[in-house]
Structure 1
Amino acid sequence: MKVTKAGTEIHSRTPQACDRCRKSKVKCSGTRPNCRNCLKRRKGCTWPSTPAPGGYYAAVDYSEVESGPDGRVLKGVGPILDGPVLGDRNSACVLPEAHLLQRLLGIFLARHHDGELCSFLHKPSLDMSVLAVRSPFLVTSIMSLSALYIPEDEAQRDFGCEPVALSDKYARSARRCAQRLSDEPSLYNIQAYLVLAIRELITWTNLKAWMYAGTAIRMSQALHLGSELNQQHSPGQKEVRRRTFWACFVVDRLISYSCNHPFAIDQKSARVQLPSPENSFAFEEDYSGPSLDNILLHTNQLSQLGITPFYITMLQLWGNMATLHTSGGRRSSRHAPTDPEGEFYKNSKAIDNFASSLPPSLRWSAQNYKLHQVTGQAQAFVNLNLLLFHSRCIMHQEYLPQLDSQYSLATLEIDESTSYDAAGLSLDYSDFPIIDCCIDSVHAITDMATMLTQGTEQDQHLLQSPFAANAIMTAAAVHLWILYTQTCDKCPKDVAEANFAKLLDIIRSWQSRWRVACAWAETLEMLRNLYSFSYGTAATVDFDYWETGTDEVTQSPTLVEEPEDANAAHPGLSGGDGIVDPSKVAQRLHDKVKGIMLNPLYATDVKKHNLRVYCRTVWQHMWNMWSFEPLESFDSDLIVE
């Protein structure tokens, strides 16, 4: 109730009431997270997950309250309360000053919001201080991700710690929220789980990333975000729901592929239309656009639709090819790659048809890149083309013939079945159009990565994405194949070696902020060691690097040790948790290369153990070091007994 100068009372509009006041039918102050009535009575204050029709949120007036029930601190700029914290005033994660909070939001919007998360926040109405009251979980998740990118000197000056430590602090608060809210589906919670999942992926806590992404997907299904059933929402609310669903779709594919797990959302469950243009979303206009099923009818409407619908469609096509690769590849495909009935052939044709239907302005070139920078869609443009090129080599690489069968000894007992795929083709089978497509796509990925790396700081930021990392990993692996197996003029070894080193350096340049880049880099190093050992081209191999003193699979040394509490880092998968026994992998080098590349996020100890076993069995299959004369440089002392 407000009082005018004349002394007359004016009744102010009441915000949405909390659950307890609504039940008691008393007037609620509407202030969150605790209304005045609940604070006075020292009762728990809970709220409906969405505003009532015509309702709104009111922020807490912290000048009125020193502390809340249960010892919670409610003063200053305002804490982010992350669950019941009895008697512990230091457990709340306090918001930084307004300008620092805005700085963290700006980093989030520039780095991940428009790429992996489909711009699900309505920027014109976005206020982090208000959002902190509505969803502490989402704000702490955003801060935990954004903190990774703050410059070192700025982090020390403004926050008093290093960026990674700051990110870890906010992540601990976000994880507590994640545990408490896992059975409370809402748009904010879905968005928070997705943001936190991305943060856990790039900090190499991939088990948490997989679990958080899965929780977000289940919540989206509980709220039926994948369909257009809820017509009572405003145009803006509908679009937020659509974009949140598509963010689930994108993050599902990203994290599932990175962690070598099956996708949780298939195309049939994506019945909602693709995201609207940014202007329509900003002005909250009614919009009726294409879906995944009919996007090919709209490829001439780029200026009306924007890039995001084409980027998501390309992601779906890439995902089909990625699934074929991760679910067994040519070892499980009963059709030859040229068989029209086979999935590889169908997926390849679908990708070719989509690519040929794209307007010229969506095809990768330096000129088009500058054009989309001006329109603010550079991230989607880069992601679309990386996915296109990667889709043309991710499964194609399985049809790159290795040379190990040429050097196998007739005296060795070899399981002949391992020399053929499920379609009955020899692993030495060569289909030159497939090989050429793979090599051309790998060179395109390398050229893209090189151009962006040599560009401005913004260009480098656009390249630093998990999708780019997946494409770079495949490209680097194919460059190694060229280096160790090819002798033709089209594939000079010195160029392949330089390209591999270039891509490895790009991955390494991310290690200071992305712990997962350490996993990717060491995986490429291990692959190079496997090739070197298999083809006997190196005088020495660093077996000390591979050895961990035991074959017992324990945990990754990259995990940050925390106290034994609910927020402690999971120790990772152990040998009994479904990790494939490397000694059971087929004898062929084809399978060992794939075994390394499919699981880059395994703990370091696991990968070293696998590499030792691979090299031991590769030697048994390929070499008799005392009779094979051409490889004089190979050191027989490297054999693992």
Structure 2
Amino acid sequence: MYMALEPLHGGSIKRIRQACANCRHKKTKCSGERPICFHCRRNRLACVYEAYSTTVGDANPPAPPPSAIANNPNNAELLQRISTIESRLAELSGRTARSNENDFPDFTISGEHSPPLNNATDAGVFSTIPNSPIDYSSFPPPPVLRSVIDTYFDHVHNKPYSYFQEASFRQKLEANSLPRCLVLAVLSSSVRFSTHEYYVGKKHEASEKYSRESWLSVLTEHLTVEDSLNVHVVQTVNLLAIVDYTAGRVSSGWLKIGLAARISQDLHLMTEPDKWLSYAEQEEQRRAFWSAYLVDKLISCGRSRPLVIMDEDCTVQLPCDEQTFSRGEWKKTNTLDQLLNWKTELIESPSGFALVILMASIFGRCTRYVHQNQKPDEIPPWDTKSEFAAINSSLLLLESYSKIGTQPISETIQQAGQSYTNVDGQQIGHSIFAHTLFHLCHCLLNHPFLVRLRLKPFGSKAPPSFPARALQVGCDHAKQLMDLLLDATESGYRIESSFYAYCIAVAGGIHSLASHFEHQSTARRQSGILHYFSRSLDALERLANFWVHAANMAVRLREFHGISHRFASLLDPMCLTDNLDPACEQICWSMIDYAILGADPYKKPLMPRTGISNLPSPSSWDLGSGVLGTEPSRFEATNPDIFSGLTPTMRLNEAEYLLNCSPGTDGLA
């Protein structure tokens, strides 16, 4: 019986003289191998054999405890070198057992923390082996890790979510004081933008595997360990929620952001942090909470997706400006409630991130009105007491707080002059995102399909001028949204945030509908609308190089444009009382529901199998198929293999059920 359980013993029961600290603590049978036993090597733990006299009676005097040695500055470097040598020896001892994997040298992670990056031997040990499989349970070689961290702060940080003070994050990474789960989540979020040769042809795989390992680390090292929750867990789960949601694992992402919100509340992050923390740590806690708040608002843009965090529960002050944060200083700012109140005296102009939070609050109110209100309105939207009018009034707050809406982004950059820095760029980037949300709110409030639903209960009482004016407002803001993003791109900004894909797709759907409106479709006007529709597709195709759901949205938008002429009655004020076919109504909902719009179009088709006749199937439309009579898309020509990653090849099994926090496959995984 023991022979079957212990194959390393070669058929005999081997009595060892001493067990390592991990095995003794967990009361697990230790193989006694040095420098690392079988149990520690299998579980990737730091194997430590304490002085024998501390565990068994010995005539020799006891050795000083490890903490006493570590606290001696003269021995710190020696201990680090010994630890490095032992980890290398452990890797060599396990190379035979793993020879069939042919992986890179193991960048073993001790406990829950990341490895130090300043070993002099790192560059020699971690040589790049072309075409070798990557061990995603460990970190990449130090030069690669540094490169991906640079990529994170260049492409992900403050776009729009903000979690870290960059200098502090890098110092903690070098000092081996960041949780393993957090570093893996950062890798998963940023590797898609990496240009390092280490990840050539493996970006999608790397992002998925790092995300999985990070989530496994959260489960085993934090959620199942008493008193192990902290702000780093909130940051990690937030990052993983975005990775899952944009990859099509909507249920998994939805549950993760709910978990992040509950952990935030358990840690009291919605209130002001403890004063004994440094200013940088206080601001990081605020930003961790506000980023969770922002994710909650953005991914709730769909039916049956109620919000988790309520505005009235948020008493922590809003994020400060980027310059103050980068210097590690403190500054008093307004709360969200104060910013939403027209009578509040501003302490100072809101920061870019604060403007994003303001718009996220209004956007959350907008999505509740659009998606969650299942009962017919008792007050018509043209009434000043209606929710429609109240949301429009709140949207004017952004105009009073921000100057970007009054001038092009290019002029704002020119005014910054030679003093323009990366921090200034992040501040302006937040403002761009806030104004994009501003236009998106107007697009949803005035969407032809949604306006029709709101007016239907009032029948002939609805004034014809209201839907006509709403159509004009919706089309204008759809154009302004695209103009804003184009101006930002031409001014040197990279529009790469995942949520931009949804904003662009909604605007593109309005352009498609407007192009078929007979009462205004002069040849010149229709050509202009189709130009904006084409620009929407181009923008989605560019984002599809990084985000799976953007590629899915591009396919769905092309498919919708091929049938949008059938929805021309939505734009006719004289047809408000006509009933929509249930299948047509479902298609319209799918073009404004974030989860459905980003789903795999081949697994969850835009059009129902029954209900609409003589329409092409989803598989007959492909990105770059020339709906507008144009050349095939640049995306298809330059990256023909990108769609191979749109549909994950692995299904959820019993193990993935727990890891993904999903009740099962929902057709989006």
> What TM-score does the superposition give when structure 2 sets the normalisation length?
0.65
Which position in structure 1 is the counterpart of 2:316?
A: 272
In 1, Cα distance between equivalents of 2:351 and 2:454:
48
| Candidates 352, 358, 365, aligned match of 1:320 | 365
For each residue in 1:118-144, what CA deviation from the matched residue of structure 2 results, as whole angstroms up to 9, or x when unmatched? 243453453363475531101011111
Which position in structure 1 is the counterpart of 2:642?
A: none
| Candidates 601, 610, 613, aligned match of 1:613 | 610
In 1, Cα distance between equivalents of 2:482 and 2:272:
40
For each residue in 1:164-184, what CA deviation from the matched residue of structure 2 results, as whole angstroms up to 9, or x when unmatched? 222233223223223323354
Alignment check: 8 A CA contact 1:72 1:92 kept: no
Query: How far off is 1:371 after superposition?
Result: 4.6
Alignment check: 8 A CA contact 1:105 1:143 kept: yes
Unaligned runs of 5+ in 1: 1-17, 22-31, 43-56, 85-89, 403-417, 537-583, 620-641
Distance 1:189 1:144, change over 3 A: same
- Equivalent residue letter for 1:301: E
Which position in structure 2 is the counterpart of 1:301?
A: 348
Residues 136-535 of structure 1 mapped to structure 2, 5 A cutoff? 136-151=180-195, 154-155=196-197, 158-159=198-199, 161-180=201-220, 181-183=222-224, 184-228=228-272, 230-257=274-301, 261-295=305-339, 297=344, 301-302=348-349, 305-328=350-373, 332-352=376-396, 354-361=397-404, 363-365=406-408, 366-371=410-415, 374=421, 375-376=424-425, 377-398=427-448, 421-424=456-459, 429-431=464-466, 432-453=468-489, 455=490, 458-459=492-493, 461=494, 463-488=495-520, 492-533=525-566
Query: How far off is 1:236 after superposition?
Result: 2.6
Alignment check: 8 A CA contact 2:112 2:181 kept: no
Alignment check: 8 A CA contact 1:389 1:442 kept: yes
In 2, Cα distance between equivalents of 1:39 and 1:222:
41
Alignment check: 8 A CA contact 1:589 1:618 kept: no
In 2, Cα distance between equivalents of 1:279 and 1:33:
40
Which position in structure 2 is the counterpart of 1:561?
A: none
In 2, Cα distance between equivalents of 1:514 and 1:360:
31
For each residue in 1:17-76, what CA deviation from the matched residue of structure 2 results, as whole angstroms up to 9, or x when unmatched? x9x99xxxxxxxxxx97585679999xxxxxxxxxxxxxx9996532533789x999x97
Distance 1:94 1:587, change over 3 A: closer
Query: How far off is 1:160 after superposition?
Result: 5.9
Query: How far off is 1:161 after superposition?
Result: 4.4
Distance 1:529 1:332, change over 3 A: farther
Distance 1:484 1:197, change over 3 A: same
Report how many residues are paired.
498
Alignment check: 8 A CA contact 1:197 1:209 kept: yes
For each residue in 1:175-223, what CA deviation from the matched residue of structure 2 results, as whole angstroms up to 9, or x when unmatched? 3223323354211111111112222233222222222222211111110
In 2, Cα distance between equivalents of 1:611 and 1:264:
31
Which position in structure 1 is the counterpart of 2:4?
A: none
Which position in structure 2 is the counterpart of 1:63?
A: 84
Alignment check: 8 A CA contact 2:543 2:550 kept: yes
Alignment check: 8 A CA contact 1:473 1:524 kept: yes
Query: How far off is 1:428 after superposition?
Result: 9.3
- Equivalent residue letter for 2:348: Q
In 1, Cα distance between equivalents of 2:289 and 2:250:
22
Distance 1:307 1:597, change over 3 A: closer
In 2, Cα distance between equivalents of 1:517 and 1:125:
30
More off after superposition, 357-366 vs 465-474: 357-366
Structure 1 SS opposite 2:472: helix
For each residue in 1:59-109, what CA deviation from the matched residue of structure 2 results, as whole angstroms up to 9, or x when unmatched? 96532533789x999x9784246889xxxxx97733223332121112111
Which position in structure 2 is the counterpart of 1:554?
A: none
CA RMSD of aligned residues (A): 4.1
Structure 2 SS opposite 1:93: coil
Distance 1:618 1:80, change over 3 A: same
In 2, Cα distance between equivalents of 1:609 and 1:286:
50
Alignment check: 8 A CA contact 1:399 1:430 kept: no
In 1, Cα distance between equivalents of 2:477 and 2:404:
19
- Equivalent residue letter for 2:223: S
Alignment check: 8 A CA contact 1:280 1:286 kept: yes
Which position in structure 2 is the counterpart of 1:10?
A: none
Distance 1:401 1:137, change over 3 A: closer
- Equivalent residue letter for 1:319: G
Alignment check: 8 A CA contact 1:137 1:174 kept: yes
Query: How far off is 1:277 after superposition?
Result: 2.3
More off after superposition, 508-517 vs 486-495: 486-495
Alignment check: 8 A CA contact 2:355 2:431 kept: no
Alignment check: 8 A CA contact 1:398 1:590 kept: no
In 2, Cα distance between equivalents of 1:419 and 1:133:
54
More off after superposition, 114-123 vs 463-472: 114-123
In 2, Cα distance between equivalents of 1:334 and 1:225:
38
Query: How far off is 1:439 after superposition?
Result: 1.8
For each residue in 1:350-393, what CA deviation from the matched residue of structure 2 results, as whole angstroms up to 9, or x when unmatched? 112x0341243564513125556652223102101101111112
Distance 1:327 1:91, change over 3 A: same
Which position in structure 2 is the counterpart of 1:115?
A: 159
Query: How far off is 1:278 after superposition?
Result: 2.5
Is residue 600 from structure 1 mapped to residue 597 from structure 2 by the alignment? yes
Distance 1:531 1:278, change over 3 A: closer
Query: How far off is 1:269 after superposition?
Result: 1.4
More off after superposition, 437-446 vs 521-530: 521-530
Which position in structure 2 is the counterpart of 1:93?
A: 137
Distance 1:465 1:333, change over 3 A: farther
For each residue in 1:296-338, what CA deviation from the matched residue of structure 2 results, as whole angstroms up to 9, or x when unmatched? 5466833xx5322122112211221122112147x73332111
Unaligned runs of 5+ in 2: 1-21, 26-43, 56-75, 96-103, 114-133, 570-578, 617-669
In 1, Cα distance between equivalents of 2:599 and 2:230:
32
In 2, Cα distance between equivalents of 1:510 and 1:39:
57
Alignment check: 8 A CA contact 2:223 2:229 kept: yes
In 2, Cα distance between equivalents of 1:191 and 1:131:
19
- Equivalent residue letter for 2:597: P
Query: How far off is 1:534 after superposition?
Result: 5.4
In 2, Cα distance between equivalents of 1:235 and 1:396:
43
Which position in structure 2 is the counterpart of 1:581?
A: none
In 2, Cα distance between equivalents of 1:309 and 1:425:
43
Distance 1:371 1:147, change over 3 A: farther
Query: How far off is 1:608 after superposition?
Result: 2.1
In 1, Cα distance between equivalents of 2:500 and 2:277:
36
